[in-house]
Structure 1
Amino acid sequence: MKNLFFSVVVMGLAACSSTPPAPDWQLEAKGSMDRAVAAYLEGNSRVEAAELARARAQLSRTGRADLLGTAELLNCATRVASLVFEPCAAFEALRPDATPAQLAYANYLRGQAQPQDIALLPAPQRALALSAGSGAADPLPRLVAAGVLLQTGQASPAVITQAIDTASAQGWRRPLLAWLGVQARRAELGGDAAEAARLRRRIAITQGSAADAPKVLP
């Protein structure tokens, strides 16, 4: 998670780096965002909400909409990775002051990136967009790319399997459950009852006894 906040959306806090030690607000905001992202992906909504609130408070101290917009886009990216497709409302409130790169990334998260947006995307997303989701990338950008492909009806069985393997390897319960649910429903629609049953058993194991574990639609 060390470089997550800087590499997923290259338009925010990194621009504040300089030779002198980073100010406390920057370190605290980055730490809170890293923890918020991890908590959401792990399925811990309570911790995620608390850490996100701390990050927003630290970033708001700067009076810079671009920094706050970066955090909101990263927050929304975790939703796309977990197949929660909803408007990025907190970012939309900041849209009038957003940078072109932020607007391009927002379009990307909605599955509406235009050709002119691609060059403005962070390097991991740009590479994945140009390769239709293939190629090496860090885990979160890869899951985001897979979510974008699913939104646009372009997620192949290989993309879905790769998303499941990625989430599983990271121990990210929330996106794992979402992607297992997609694969299970496809197996059911394809008439493969044995495979669907196997996937439902895996879903049950993943949910375990965690009270906060996201639920998968039947």
Structure 2
Amino acid sequence: MKRYLGLICCCLLLLCGCAAQSIPEWRTDSFNSLEKYKDEFLAGKEHLAEVHFQKAVDEIKSSGDLTLLMTAHLTRSALQIAVLETPDFRNYLEIAKADPADADEQKNYYLLLEGKFDSLQKDKLPKPYQDLAEVLEKGDQKEISQVVGEIQDDLSRLIATGLAVRNGREDEALLTGAVDLASSHGWRKPLLIYLNRLKSYYRENQNWEKEEKIRLKMELLTPHSGMRGKTGPAC
């Protein structure tokens, strides 16, 4: 279960465990619940996502591990940023008041998500996010798009894209990359959100032809669109 620890520190999306020993049931249950939360959230199934998230939080609370509890709430904040929503850090900040001794990575990840690049310790972040924090602080659009595109983990790359947009650093390549990424995974919620963002980008840049193509694509992908039921030409 080393991956269990690695990915949660990298993108705060999983929970940690130990490969050499038997895994406590609460760890397995919380891990599975967070995985289901991610899937339902990205699918746009808000109610189911919240049910799984609360189950994960309850399992973690049974262990008394505040650092892991902070991680779970930052997971949700990171996913909110990934789909261009305003992140809610209130639960994380309440837990942080207890000052868990081993929460440096969580603190620096929070500062990254908040966009406080000059306050965080970049060496406390996983390598992809160290580079991301540096280029976002510099504000070089070409470098930002390049660093985001080089992030190997797909969900981490979507979070990085959301961070770039949140900090006013977006271009066509960044947005189309997010659309392609969401499409390849079947992540309906970010797909529609980034298509809409891309449409707005084209409108702002007066690229009417591309804007219209995105508008038509979104119309076709929207439930209950006019295409429903049209299986062939009339006789």
Contact 2:61 2:69 in 1 (8 A): yes
Q: How does 1:100-115 map to 2 (within 5 A)?
A: 100-114=104-118
Counterparts of 2:4 and 2:129, CA distance in 1: 13
User: Once superposed, what is the RMSD of the aligned Cα atoms?
Assistant: 2.3
Distance 1:39 1:129 in 2: 28
Which runs of no fewer than 5 residues in structure 1 stay unpaired?
Answer: 211-218
TM-score by length of 2: 0.79
Deviations 1:147-169 (A, max 9, x none): 11111112222111111111111
8 Å contact from structure 2 (residues 172, 201) kept in 1: no
User: Could you tell me how far apart the structure 1 residues matched to 2:196 and 2:64 are?
Assistant: 41
Residue 116 of structure 1 deviates from its aligned partner by 4.3
The equivalences for 1:1-218 within 5 A come to 6-10=6-10, 13-14=15-16, 16-96=17-97, 97-98=99-100, 99-114=103-118, 116-130=120-134, 132=144, 133-209=148-224
Greater Cα offset, 39-48 or 79-88: 79-88
Query: CA shift at 1:204, angstroms?
Result: 2.5
SS in 2 for 1:93: helix
Aligned residues: 207
* More relative contact order, 1 or 2 (CA 8 Å, 6+ apart): 1
- Structure 2, unmatched stretches of 5+, are 135-142, 226-235
Q: Secondary structure at the match of 1:134?
A: helix
The structure with the largest alpha-carbon Rg is 2
The one-letter amino acid paired with 1:201 is L
Change (3 A) 1:49 1:87: closer
Residues 112-167 of structure 1 deviation map (CA, whole Å, 9 limit, x = unaligned): 22374221123443344456323142111101111111111122221111111111
